[in-house]
Amino acid sequence: MATVQIHNTLTKELEPIEPKHGEGKTLSLYTCGPTVYAHAHIGNFRAYVFEDLLQRHLQERGFMVRRVMNLTDVDDKTIRGAHAAGIALAEFTRPFKEAFFEDAKTLRLLPAEAYPEATDPKQITRMIAMIGTLMEKGHAYQAEDGSVYFRIASFPGYGKLARVDLENQRSGQRVASDEYDKEAVADFALWKAWVPEDGAVGWESPWGRGRPGWHIECSAMATGLLGETIDIHCGGVDNIFPHHEAEIAQCECVGAKPFVRYWMHCAHLMVEGSKMAKSAGNFFTLRDLLTQGWTGREVRYALISVHYRGALNFTLDGLAAARTALGRLDAWRERLVETAGSETTSETPAPATEGFFAALDDDLNISSALAVLFETLRETNRRMDEGAWTPAHARGMLNWLVRVDGVLALEPDAITTIPYEVEELVTARAAARTAKEWKKSDEIRDQIEALGWLVKDTKDGQKITKG
């Protein structure tokens, strides 16, 4: 079997992915999900699309991937949003959860095995249990303000992922307001004591009413659903510190085992060359793009086509390029289908096409993989131009494309049926063309276009496509 190698943030090295001993071919994958206080933006989706590509390629290579993605449905922002809207927290987050799943479907993301929610009583119970263990072991303490904090000084491994040296950190103003009762500035909250602004939001715990800190949430859900040591944990680079560092500290202090074997992080996304920000007016949700007429797969292509560890400059030009490239792939696919006809061979094409998957084995080198795809496209078209291709050749190539689609998920949307109205016009136009009534033919073509369909004349007659 081919070896999939990935860049591990923890070691900074390219490492072959292997399941844990005794796990067969199963890999556990935990991916940090959205905080449901608003619609996820394309920067969020860049991460999710990258994770989807990872999962799909691992599956293509024969692994069973058990993926979990959490939903953060309680934090400062969700509480603030619910309060501002004058509704209960769950009521406030529900539409954003639903929207997230819709968007994920639009981008063709494979569903995870589970989407645990932070407010799920089962999860809260687990978080409280973990905090209890940390307290018993001296890794946590309750401060004057009632909140429970993780004692970073008690965990020598703190900083190994982000390679931070706490002594050397610039002390930011951002923490100033939050420092009150902590033993050390860097200690982070495990359990946040209830404050009046929390309103009805809160759970009882041995340390009083309150709510979980963000980091413990992921730690509890990841280990609760996937076990003490999970194989792969993904997220955006901005999560490396402090979020993932904190997760390591919590999990490895509760149990003695390593928390994660392979850490993978994708770089940020920029829009038109600058950081995406609401204030800069370059902030996009998927919905914004759909409204502008772009499709889910076009956005998926734009997000997937740049290597995950490089910054992705998301532009309208890039989307347009995605549209054109997809159009070429579609036309090629259609031509293959026509050439293949009713041929049903299960033969596969030349070994050269395996280069597509081999490229992805190398830390998901999508650029090289796409290069193989487009080189294959050009080569096959050349052969078909020469008339040198048999239906079996074409069918073989389509068999390969099925595997490619399993990883890229860029196949065309289901074909929409041509309306009767349009069919009638096409028939009328065919008659006009046989009679060489070009003027009439052109008029009918305009009518068809007005209905949103495109006509092209080929040597085999008219071809209709959605405009």
Partner RNA sequence: GGCGGGGUAGCCAAGUGGUAAGGCCGGGCUCUGCAAAAGCCCCAUGCGACGGUUCGAUUCCGUCCCCCGCCUCCA
Task: Scan residues 202-261 and list those touching RNA (CB under 7 A).
Answer: 213-214, 235-243, 246
Q: State which of residues 58, 134, 189, 253 lies at the interface with RNA (CB under 7 A).
A: 189
Q: Is 278 in the site for RNA (CB under 7 A)?
A: no
Question: Whose CA is closest to 20, among 260, 333, 356, 298?
Answer: 260
Site for RNA in 44-63 (CB under 7 A): 44, 46-47
For residue 173, count other CB atoms closer than 10 A to its CB.
6
Please, what is the minimum distance in Å from the beta carbon of residue 22 to RNA?
Answer: 31
Nearer to RNA, 65 or 359 (CB): 359
Nearer to RNA, 23 or 120 (CB): 120
Site for RNA in 282-311 (CB under 7 A): 305-307, 309-311
Q: What is the 3-state secondary structure (H, E, C) of 264-308?
A: EEECCEEECCEECCHHHCCCCEHHHHHHCCCCHHHHHHHHHCCCC
Helix axes 366-385, 316-340, angle to 10 degrees: 40
Q: Is 179 in the site for RNA (CB under 7 A)?
A: no
Q: State which of residues 13, 317, 338, 347 lies at the interface with RNA (CB under 7 A).
A: 317
Site for RNA in 339-398 (CB under 7 A): 362, 365, 367-368, 370-371, 374-375, 377-378, 381-382, 385
Q: State which of residues 287, 295, 433, 447 lies at the interface with RNA (CB under 7 A).
A: 433
Q: Is 430 in the site for RNA (CB under 7 A)?
A: no
Give Cα separations from 193 to 138, 182, 208 (angstroms).
19, 13, 7
Looking up tokens 């904090």, which residue turns up? 149
Nearer to RNA, 43 or 396 (CB): 43
Q: Is 176 in the site for RNA (CB under 7 A)?
A: no
CA angle 433, 437, 440 (to 5 degrees): 95
Token pair for 449: 């276009």
For strand 230-236 and strand 189-193, is the pairing parallel, antiparallel, or unpaired? unpaired
Site for RNA in 66-85 (CB under 7 A): 75-77
Q: Is 25 in the site for RNA (CB under 7 A)?
A: no
Nearer to RNA, 85 or 176 (CB): 176
**Strand blocks (E) in 170-218:** 189-193, 210-212
In 9-120, alpha helices (H): 42-60, 76-85, 89-106
**Strand blocks (E) in 110-209:** 140-142, 148-150, 189-193
Contact stretch for RNA (CB under 7 A) within 32-40, 103-111, 255-263, 391-399: 32-40
Q: State which of residues 11, 171, 292, 427 lies at the interface with RNA (CB under 7 A).
A: 171
